[in-house]
Structure formats: C-alpha cells, structure tokens
Structure 1
Amino acid sequence: MDKNIAGTLKIRLTYIFSQRHDKAEDCINVCKIPKLDVYNPGIRYKIGEIELKCKNKASFTFENGHRLEINWTAVRLSNVSSTFSSCTYQPIIRPVSVPNHNFFQYGPESAQFYLSVNISDEFIRVKCFDKTNTVIYTNFHQFVFQKPDVERRCNKAFKEHSGNPAIKEKLNVILLGTDSISRLQSVRSLKRTRAYLHEVLEAFELTMYNKIGDNTFPNIAALTLGKFVEEIPYNESYRHVPFDKHNFIWKQFSAKGYRSLYIEDRSGTFDYMMAGFHSYPSDYYNRHFFMAMKEEKSVWNTDDLCMMDRLETGMVLDYAAKFVRLQQNSPYFAFSFATTLTHDEFYHAQYADLPLLNFIRELHEDQLLNNTLLIVFSDHGIRIGNYRNTYEGMMEERLPMMHLVFPKWFKEKYPLYSKNLKLNTKRLTTPFDIYETLRDVLNFDDKIFQRKGYKNRGISLFREIPKERTCKDAGIAPHWCTCVEHTVVNTSDNTIIFLSDFLVRSLNRKLSNVQDKCEVLALEEIRHASKVQISESVLETRKRKVKPQAHYQIKIKTKPGGALFEATIFYDERFHFRRLDGDISRINKYGNQASCISENHELEKYCLCRK
C-alpha cells in the first residue's frame, strides 16, 4: 500500500464544499466530499505565480487590425538586419467540406511587401527573405472577418427567434476551457484569474462539480451534447466516422441566429484518434490553421508550448477575443478549449493564469461581457503522474474547476435564478447540468422549471438541485463518484487478491483483439485497496441496511512495463460476483509504449507493444 495514501486517509474524516467550510450546507447535503488540503506538503513549495516566457526572440511580423506589418525594431535587433529583404504570405485554406479533418493547403503566394500589407484571408503563413532570396523567417497569423453568408443566415434566424414573445432574454455565451485543472489546482495555480472571477465578476463556482468520464472526450461530450459517449453513439468502431451530424450545443445556438465559434489548439477533443469534423462545425473554425503550424517544426520552441514568441494557448485565446470583439453587437456562441499547455503536466497550470486573466479582464473592462454568460471550466483534474498517485490526486482528478459569470443586471433582474445558482455552488453537479443550463439560456422562457433534461439526468442550474442528489441520480459512475468514504483494506486480503486477479484478466480481455501486437499483462503488485462506502448520512437518509455487496477501489502495477492501473469493482460476496463499475484508469505515463496501436484511442492506455 502507498504510504502517502495511507497517511492521508487517516485524516480524511471531515468534508469540504468551498474554500471556506460551510457547516450548515454540510448538514443538509446527502453527498459529502472528503476535505482535501489545498496545499499539502508535497506540492506547496513548487507552486508560484509564474509567467512562461517563450524562448524565441520577438517576431518580425505582427497583426494590426486587418493589416500585417513588419516589426522593423525586431529586424534591426536581429542578426539578419543587414541582409533582410522582404516578406510574402500565403493563405491557409480548407474547403468548407472535406473528408479529412486534418486537411489544409496553401494558396497562392502574395507579392512581396516591405512595410505592411492588407490581409483578406483568415489564416496565413508568412515568410521573409534575405537579399539572396533565402527564407530567414516563418510565422503564422490569424484574422477574423465578417462573413456575408453567415450574416444573412444569422440575421434571418435571429429575427425569428427574437420575435418569439416567449423568449425573455438573449445572452451571448463564452465557454473558456483549459485542460486538466481541478478546482483545487485552480486555487493553487490560477490565483490571479480566480481573484478576478470572484472579487470583480462575482462568479458562481461549482465546488462539487464532478466529472463523468475518464478523459476530455466524454466530459466535453456530456457538456456539449448532454449524453454519455455510448449514447452519441461512439466507440472504437466509429473512429473513422466524423461528428458532423451531431447536434452540439453551439449548433443549437447557431440555428437560432447566433454566430458560432469552435476553437481548439493542436490536440482537438474530437480529433485525437477520431475523425473530427469533415464539414465546418461552426461559422468560425481554425483547425487547419493549427495543423499547418504543427507541420512547420521550425517555429516551435519552449518544449513545443510556444509558436515563435507566442504561447499556443495565448493564440487560442487571442482568436477567441478577436471573434468576440467582431461580434460584440451581434448574438454569438463561442467555445474555446486549450489542451497542450496543461495536459498531464501538473505544474504547467500556473502558466495559464496570466493568459486567462488578460482575456477575461480585457473583455470585462471593454464592456464586452455586459450581455454574456462566461463559463471558465476544465474537463478533469490531472490524470497521470506522481501527484495523481496520491489520495488527493485521485480525488482532484474527479473534481474539475467550473465558474459561471452572469452579468450583474441579470442577477438583479432574476433573483430566484440567482438564488438557485448560489445554492447549486454547493450541490453535486456535472457537465450534464451545464448542458441543460445552456439550453435554458438559449430558450429563456417561463418553462425553465418545467423543462426536463435528457433522461432526467441533467438539471439546469436555474433550478435548485436537490440536496438529496446522489452520484447515481446525476449519472456519475461509482468509479468517478466523490461522494464516498474510502476505508483502507490490506492488500494481502483474500478479497483484494481475488479482485486484483479479476482486474488483470479484464485488462487482457480488453486487449484480446490486439494480442498479436500487445503483451499479455500479469499482476506484479497490488499498490493500494480501499472499500468505497456511501457516507453514513446517505445510509440514514435512505434507511438502508448494510448488504454483503460493496465497491472496492484497487490500484495495481502490471508487468511487463510497470503500468499503474486503478479501477472500481462491484463485488457481491454471496455469489462471488464481480463487475467493473466504470473505466479503468491508467495513472502513470505511457509515452510511446502503445505506438503499435496508435490509432486505437480506447486501448492505447492498456497496451505495451511487443518487441
């Protein structure tokens, strides 16, 4: 058993719902989440307020409105100042519909320019030359323009939508997502952003926001489609099928006349080992821009987090900000998600603090959030690494950050909704609830209290979420549920050995179709085991008797390869019945160990390729 886990479990007897403990709310909630130390001794000294500085020197070119200009100060300070000649650019093009989500091509090269040039393309690659016509500089730039066809369609649809007397409000929406940041990680690492959200914007923070799936894909699918992955439907047999036909929340807003933006960095929630979108999923979309940059290896630096002198996450936020400014007098829905900076890198979260703060502060100070719902969120906490291998890390992985900022006038005009939003900050919530809330924002009428969510699973935050809500009610599998108490069980216990053997066999069954490529796994060590129990208050509330059935959470190490796996297993001792309840988590890094099945997203975390 891990010593650090055993030590922390001894003191996890109280509960937390916010940074300031609320005993009154604690008494009435059925779901009780174990109290966690925001600054546990293993990490406190490594967290600071740090800005990541890109290693590359200042760019020779920069955007100024719809013009691209040469930064002659940067040129003169460079080692090519005496030989610098001129620059050209090429548009980066992707047809509106193409059967390859990673497709891009370059258009014709422009005429040479020496000072500046007007740009009419959304995305461009620029190259500069010396006097021998040798390329000495490459960079990428993005611009945002009004699109006449989008304007015509949206104006017509919004006129019809706003003409409906039942619709009382028409808020814009900005979804601002950053990968792998738990709520407590945001307390540690996004100090300036949190301070601004809470002290200036009076954000509603969901302190019991629980993820519903392992990685980014199922949690973003729940937030934007209101469904589990299997309900979409999606599994590995669909990995070559694009997501174009699905009615994402931004498409629902678009159908009512809202201009839509969907932007991510190189990773892509619906692109990694999947088919992505073959048609533009939104009015403004930039995957081909990031694919073009990805292929230009020479422009990346600082552990591939920077493109020239700009942080990639900053480029995502910059494009989103340009879109908001362009559409400030029109209804819009913007979805932005940045992955590469913080994905599976615990200490990188602090690098996102200043970019997020600047984005939010500049929009607020320019009065661009006055009619907008701003949601600042993450998909899950850190999933892999040393911190994830602790009890705190396991819990934080399941509790991502979620903030909602409504305009001040909205909260004053609708005090009941504001009251419920405040109550719900200390109730068990999920991505399904955010989806239902967004549907109510779009259809803001008198039926908010009568409207039912998909399969009655999600509950709009405008309604009070019941204090009796359980993980089962909310659609959270036992493996991801944080409304539990963990009782340590000796790893030499016969039941734990029995269940660990079952877990290894379950892993090998998953790999059965690729056994010619992947090693057969065997148990090397049982690292930790606990009995997962519903809290006493739940048992008292529901007046249930204790049954010979229980959930166990088990962490094992397998060989060959040294993989660490964690799973929650339901066990009925009367019949020796065992069942996996939820996913199997891989909690240490696996790098290129599964390169032999690199197109199989579902199995890569389990596979160790045969040599």
Structure 2
Amino acid sequence: MPKKILLIILGCLCILYIRNTVITNRRKIAAFIENTTPSKYSSNNQEISTVSYPHRKFVPLSNHSDAFSEIAKISVKPPGIFNIDDTENLRTLGLACQPESYGYSKQQGDHVFPYHGYPKCSDLNNQTESRVYLSTEDGKIYMKCPEKFRGRLVTGPINDKKIVLRGEVEDLWEPIKYEEPLLLDEKTEFALGSCDENPNNWYKEAHMTPRFNETAYNMAKSKTKGKPKIIFMLTLDSLSRRHFFRKLPKTVDFLNSLNHENSEYWAFDFKLHNILKPNSVGNQVPIFGGIEKFVEFFEGNQNIDYLGDTALWNILREKGYISLFGLENCDNYFPRSLGRMPNFDYTVNPFFCAIYKYTDYKFDKDAVLKQRCLGPYMTHYYLLNYTDNLVRMNQGVNQWLYLHLNGGHEATGLHAETMDEDITDFLKKFLSKYSKDNEIILFLHADHGMRYGNWFKDLPAYQENKLPSLFFIARREFIDSYDKAFQILTLNTERLTSKMDLRKTLLYIADVHEDTKHGINLLKEVVPKERTCNDAGINPWDCSCTEMKIIKNPDAELKGLIERMADLLQFTINSEAYASAKHKKGNICQKIEVNEIEKVYNFQISNVEEFFKLEVSVKNHHSVKFQSSILVSSENSDRLDYDPIKYNVETDSFRGAPIKLRILTISRLDKYAGPCELKAIQAGLRGDTCICSETYTNYD
C-alpha cells in the first residue's frame, strides 16, 4: 500500500477516534471547561446571580463521618419504641440534609386531621359475609341473595391484560342474571354482584381469590434454594411518616410490640425517608426497574412489559420467586408507565376497575370521607385476603409481593383510619402463620406523603408530602446473618434514605448484586451523614431539606416573570387539552384562562437556578385550580432535561440575563375525578387538564 494512502487512512482513523471520544465524553469535557473557566452565568461563578433573591454561597461539609467508629458504638439490642417526634433527635447529628420541618406538629396534626371514627363495614351494612362466592373446589360461582330476586353479577378479569386503564374496560362488562350456580372458568378470579332487583343500583357483594399458576410455581420450585423467602412490599398510598403515626396507632403499637429482647421480629423506623418524585409511579416504578428506565408514559405498543430485563419480577424469577402485583385502584398511571402486560405471575387491578363502574366507591383524591365498604369488608380487605390465599397456595417457593393500598388516598386525610385495624390484624396473622416455613422480610412503606386537600397549601404539608413512612421488619436471626447489619440498619434509620435504596437492598436480600444508581444497601452500607438529595437522585424541588419560601410582595421584574410563567402554564394546558392535535379544537375540552395567581412558592437551587410553584384559579370556573412546578435557569442545567418527553424549554430574560424556563409538572388541586375525567381519558387526553366542553357528547 502506498505510504500516502496509509497516512490518509491513519489520519481518518485518528479523526474518527477523536470525534467519538469527544461525543462520548462531551458532558465531562464541558463540565471540566466550565469548572476551570466558568461562563458568566454559571453556578461556578458565584459573583453573578440571576435568581429572584440573593443566594447564600454553598460551603461543602468537610468532616466526613467515620462509619466504622459509629458502628462500634452501637450494641445489639431491640430498636426501641417509636414516637412521632423522634425526628427531633436528628437535629443534633450534623446531617447535611436537615429539614427545617418534618411536617405538622402533633398539636397541628390533631387539629387538621381530627379523629373521625369509622364503623365496621359489617355493622354498617348489617352483614357478616359476602353473598357471592367463587368455589375453586367444585368450579362454581354461588350467590345467596336474601330476597326473591336471586341476583346479578359481573366477573373478571375481562381480558388478558395484566393492568388496565379504566377507559379500556369500562364498557366491556355485561352483567349476568343469576339463576343457578355458574361455571367458574380457569381464568376468573373475582365476581362482583348485586342482590338489588333494580339494575341501576350499586353492587355491594364481592369475592376474589387467586387461581393457582402451576407453571410459575414449578419454575420457582426448581430454583428456590434453602428456606423460602417472602419479600413483601406493603405500600400505603399518601401516608407520610407523621400521618402513619396519627392514623394508624394500632399498627404503630404492633410494630413497637415487636421491639423487645425476646421477640422473633424486630422493626426499624426510617425517620428521614425522602420521596424520589412527587407521585406514585415516580416513586415506585424506579424501585421496580431502576431510575434510568423510568418514564411516566411511553408511545407505541402498550401491550408490553416496558421495564423488561430490569424489572424486579423478571430478575427475581431467575432466583425462584413468584410475583404478585396488587393495586387497590384502577388508576391511569401504573399502566402507562409499565405497559399493560408486565410479566407478573399474579396481578390484582381489574377487580377495582369493576368496582369503579358498579359501586359508588372511588379511590381518587376527591372521595371525601366516604367509607369504602363492599359488603361486610373494606375494599382493601379483598386485596389482603387475596394475598393471604396466594401465599398459602405457593408454600415452598420464594415470593415477591407488592401491594398498593389506597385507603389514605383522599382529600381529607381522615380515611386512612379505616386501614389501621385491618393492617394490624393482617400483619399479626401473616407473621404468625408463615414465619415457621418462610423467611419474611417486610418493607412497610408509603410512596409519598399526603398531597391533597386545602391543607396541602401549608408549608408543613409540603414537607409531609416529601417524607413518606418506611419501616423495615425482619427476624432478628435473619438480620444477624449479615455482618454488622443491625448496627448499620440502626444508623441508617437516622440518615437520608430514598427509593433507590429499597431496590438495592431488596435485590441484595435476593442474592442479586446490582450497582443501583443512587442506591445504598441499607443492610450493608452506612448512609453517610454528608449525603444530600442530589446524591440520592432527588431533585431539589422534591427534597425535604430544601427551604421553600412563599412570595408575597414581588418587585416589578419578579412580578412580570411570574405573570409570564402563568401565561406559559395557560398556553401549555390549552395546547394539550383544548387544542390537542388528537381532536378538533374545543370539541372535547374548553379553553381555559387564568383568573388569578393565588400563591407562588420559590426556592433557589444555586446563584443561577431556581424553582417556582404556582397555584392559579381559572376564569368562569371558580372551583378549578391548577398547580405547576417551573424551573428557571440561566445556565444549561441538566435539570432542564428532566422528563424530556413532557414540556419544551422556553427562552426569556430576567434581571438583564437570558434565562430558560421549563414546566416540570401540572396538576389539579380541586376535585376533578368523574365523568369528564373518564371521557378525556377515553379520548386519549389527560383527565386533570381537561374541562369538558358543554357540547361534548362523543369523542369519536
């Protein structure tokens, strides 16, 4: 080969190598340049500030904690009695993340969320057992109505989807008039019935039971080694740590009763557990599949297991685990994030979609004070009972159980009381019944704290939203099987933890070693005192350690910026609802106009970046209120890439500096669930941003 051609080839290869190196490492290179020679508007140039108010210069902590010396100081003894105000002890520990408030004080909480007192459903409905029953022994469905009319019912699941949107199944059911026992096919898991002759009255009878999955059991049996493990994630929606103590006192007493010297199980109370994102899917789905895989929704084929190989249920299946995914709701969020066909072995979700249609019990935030009785039991009982039966029929194999109970998901903050006795009884019986033959590891936790009702406008309520409950319960002998695990758990209960820690810890328990992004193994690694929300993968606006201020008297420039943000919010809502490309403009949703900017909250992330939360009312709809989170930055922040599938980055200027704005979230503060929400969802729109047009009758 001629020397000239060889040199040309080598030169081209060098250019390609340099180009690929630069592209691959462009962020690192840009960061290096920015750190060494910062641009004018940069968090690395503290001399320039473009935010609303002066920003205090951040000085990093220099005293790194010595985990080994801290471990040595802790002796193995029962964790002690939990109290609502134990969080005050954290103020003396020198934590980098130290919330100014942990939520409502005990006195404030008792005033805002007084004891309501809900009767037993059996007393309320004068009924001790359900009048519909699925018999797997003889393969029949029975109804026993007390009057001449013999009853009507619907059964399900209605299709092969694992989890569904309500609008996808709303019209698929056709009630069956009961005359004699019906044949129970091999797929039917529930029946919902009525003994009322009027077909328009609500259904009040129900029964649900799992159908044994022999294929899943045999696969798990072939891979289960040693004493079977039950890793149980019992999730209570919208229950901050403090609200857990307020509304579940019997459950707290039960957990405290475990913590004595001779107890088989010990419980650990994590006092500074911070959300990852503001809503359920944003907190739970990253646990299921890792933070890198999380999306709130995706386009294209929905009949898939979106998380694929990263999903806990798929990883754990290789370790001999059967999986249960149970939702006490029929929401529109988990199906959009996970797909309709996650590869669970068992799932509970369509049952509650039937409840939405055929009963007057809802699981939305506006289901104010209405007790969710279905026959003689609360609706959550059916999911707990299903789980008990499933565990019983799958003895001898590992099990991963995920339950999501919605008793606390409503606007008053009072309905959570209805879970207390049932959860306490369930946990007592569960541990007693299954601990001999299984190693039970229980994560009793919430996705996030309370988010609803008028009290959400108080700053302590914002804090409670960010600080969900987390309790870890396991046998003392199991904890002792890991080196220094008791001491490490004890230390970590007083450190900043978040959702990715749960994934890493859970996988470790299942003997899966993953380098989980932003995760710390709570059984093996001591969380550093210096850990910040950024270290844990938590955005500043979701961080309990970030101090948020209300803006009351903005100067002219700031007032102008706030008004432009409100205009952007109005434009964005109208673009995705009123003027959606999916339908003729105004055919489904009305055009909205902001009436008043009622409240503005702000905190500063750095000298060039800040976060706003706006609450606005709408003209001609006095009850409608929107809330929006908006990021404002004068540097090219990575945070501008937050959820790139959602809203565009807009350019503007503020105090003489060029800035970029991006809406992060839009949500409703008023009660919007109902027919309009359902119609919007069926039309492929968001239910919370649509105010239905008066002329709207058909979405086709």
TM over 0.5: yes
Between 90-99 and 55-64, report the one with greater CA deviation: 90-99
Structure-2 residue corresponding to 1:598: 681
For residue 86 of structure 2, the aligned residue among 8, 11, 20 is 20
Q: Are 1:250 and 2:313 an aligned pair?
A: yes
Matched, 1:459 2:520: yes
Letter in 1 for 2:329: R
Q: Which of 211, 221, 224 lines up with 1:155 in the alignment?
A: 221
Distance of 2:596 and 2:163 partners within structure 1:
46
**Percentage identity across paired residues of the two chains:** 19
Contact 1:93-1:106 within 8 A present in 2 as well = no
**2:530 aligned residue (468, 484, 494):** 468
**8 Å Cα contact 1:433/1:461 also seen in 2:** yes
How large is the RMSD of aligned CA atoms in angstroms? 4.2
Aligned counterpart, 2:552: 490
Question: Shift in Å at residue 564 of structure 1?
Answer: 4.1
Give the residue type in structure 2 aligned to 1:151: Y
**1:165 — aligned with what?**
none
- Find the aligned partners of 1:130 and 1:591 in 2 and give their Cα distance: 27
1:508 matched residue in structure 2 = 570
Q: Summarize the Cα distance change of 1:373–1:559 in structure 2 as closer, same or farther, 3 Å threshold.
A: same
CA contact (8 A) 1:176 1:337 kept: yes
Establish whether residue 313 from structure 1 lines up as the match of residue 380 from structure 2. yes
Q: Choose from 556, 573, 577 the match for 2:615.
A: 556
Aligned residue type for 1:532: F
Q: Distance in 2 between matches of 1:92 and 1:381?
A: 32
Q: Which residue pairs with 1:266 in the alignment?
A: 329
Which of these two proteins has the greater Rg computed from alpha carbons?
A: 2
Contact 1:172–1:373 under 8 Å retained in 2: yes
Aligned partners of 2:163 and 2:96: how far apart in 1?
49
Aligned residues: 553
1:351 pairs, out of 414, 418, 423, with: 418
User: 2 CA distance for matches of 1:45 and 1:65?
Assistant: 46
Q: Distance in 1 between matches of 2:354 and 2:456?
A: 34
Please state if 1:143 is matched with 2:202. Answer: no
Deviation of 1:482 after TM superposition, in Å, equals 1.1
Residue of 416, 420, 424 corresponding to 2:484 = 416
Q: Indicate if the aligned counterparts of 1:49 and 1:191 stay in contact, CA closer than 8 A.
A: no
- Within the candidate set 236, 239, 242, 1:184 is matched to 242
Secondary structure of the residue that 1:473 maps to in structure 2? coil
Q: Where does residue 125 of structure 1 map in the other structure?
A: 191
CA contact (8 A) 1:552 1:570 kept: yes
Structure 1: how far apart are the matches of 2:682 and 2:233? 29
Contact 2:220 2:317 in 1 (8 A): yes
Is residue 2:128 matched to residue 1:61?
Answer: no
Which whole-Å CA distance do the structure 2 matches of 1:600 and 1:457 have between them?
Answer: 38
Measured in 1, the distance between the counterparts of 2:557 and 2:281 equals 34
Q: CA deviation at 1:500?
A: 1.6
Contact 1:480 1:582 in 2 (8 A): no
Q: Which residue of 2 aligns with 1:203?
A: 267
- The structure-2 alpha-carbon separation of the partners of 1:457 and 1:600, relative to structure 1 and needing over 3 Å to count, comes to farther
Amino acid corresponding to residue 144 of structure 1 in structure 2: P
What whole-Å deviation, never above 9, does each CA across 1:86-111 have from its counterpart, x for those lacking one?
78998645565699775677999999
Task: Give 1:385's aligned residue.
Answer: 453
The alpha-carbon deviation at position 240 of structure 1 amounts to 4.4
Gaps of 5+ in 1: 1-16, 163-168, 535-546
Contact 1:259 1:333 (8 Å CA) reproduced: yes
Aligned to 2:638: none
Cα 1:574–1:43 change in 2 (3 A) is farther
Q: 1:327 matched to which residue of 2?
A: 394
SS of 2:388's equivalent in the other structure is helix
SS of the aligned residue for 1:557 comes to: strand
* Residue of structure 1 aligned with 2:665, choices 583, 588, 611: 583
- Residue identity opposite 1:587 in structure 2: L
Structure 1 residues 234 and 215, CA, compared in 2 at 3 Å: closer, same or farther? closer
For 1:107 and 1:488, how far apart are their aligned partners in 2? Answer: 53
Matching residue of 2:74: none
Gaps of 5+ in 2: 1-82, 259-264, 580-584, 635-654, 695-700
**Aligned mates of 2:441, 2:383 — CA distance in 1:** 19
Note if contact 1:157-1:257 (Cα within 8 Å) is conserved in structure 2. yes
- SS of the counterpart of 1:422? helix
Corresponding residue SS for 2:224: helix
* Matching residue's letter, 2:657: F
Report the AA paired with residue 665 of structure 2: D
Could you tell me how far 1:550 is from its partner in structure 2? 4.8
Helix, strand or coil for the counterpart of 1:406?
strand
Please say if 1:224 is aligned against 2:253.
no
Deviation (angstroms), 1:144: 3.4
How many Å separate the matches in 2 of 1:521 and 1:372? 52
CA distance in 1, matches of 2:157, 2:615: 48
The offset of 1:608, in angstroms, is 3.6
Partner SS, residue 564 of structure 2: helix
Confirm or deny: 8 A CA contact 1:529 1:553 kept in the other structure.
Answer: yes
Q: Distance in 1 between matches of 2:497 and 2:683?
A: 31
Q: Is the Cα contact below 8 Å between 2:431 and 2:440 reproduced in 1? A: no
1:48 Cα deviation from its structure 2 partner: 2.7
What's the TM-score, normalizing by structure 1?
A: 0.77
Contact 1:47 1:350 in 2 (8 A): no
Whole-angstrom CA distance in 1 between matches of 2:376 and 2:207: 12
Instruction: Give 1:539's aligned residue.
Output: none
Distance 1:418 1:233 in 2: 35
Q: Deviations over 1:192-246 (max 9, x none)?
A: 1122123315322222111122321211111211226xx4445464594544563
* Match of residue 279 from structure 2: 215
Question: Do residues 296 (structure 1) and 363 (structure 2) align?
Answer: no
CA contact (8 A) 2:323 2:344 kept: yes
Aligned match of 1:441 in 509, 524, 528? 509
CA offset at residue 261 of structure 1?
Answer: 1.1
Shift of 1:142: 2.1
Q: 1:284 aligns with which of 343, 346, 354?
A: 346
